[in-house]
Amino acid sequence: MPGSKTNTMSRNEVLTAIRAILLENDFVWDGKHEDDRPATAEELGAVIASYRTKRGRPAGSGTKEQVAIRLD
């Protein structure tokens, strides 16, 4: 597909580059910007639980009553 390739690196070159990243260069929150704060385990659990809720049409009440309407 034209335009689907995002870089010219081979898979092995990408893996080598990833392995070369030092752990001290990993992200560490500086405590200044709340938007950059990593999520806690409780926050992640809440997000995961929200995706596990049942989707789709809600269940009906289970009780039905027949109604007749006569219009002119």
Q: Is 37 inside any structural domain? A: yes
Domain total in the chain: 1
Pair 29, 37: CB distance under 8 Å: yes
Q: Is 58 inside any structural domain? A: no
**Encoding tokens for residue 48?**
């995961």
- Predicted pLDDT of residue 3: 62
Q: Is 19 inside any structural domain? A: no
Provide the residue range defining the domain that includes 46: 26-51
Q: Is 57 inside any structural domain? A: no
Residues 6+ apart with CB under 8 A from 47: 39
Q: Is 30 inside any structural domain? A: yes
Q: Is 70 inside any structural domain? A: no
pLDDT at 1 over 60: no
The model's pLDDT over 5-33, given as tens digits with 9 standing for 90+, comes to 677 888 899 888 888 877 666 677 778 88
User: Global pTM?
Assistant: 0.35
Q: Is 40 inside any structural domain? A: yes
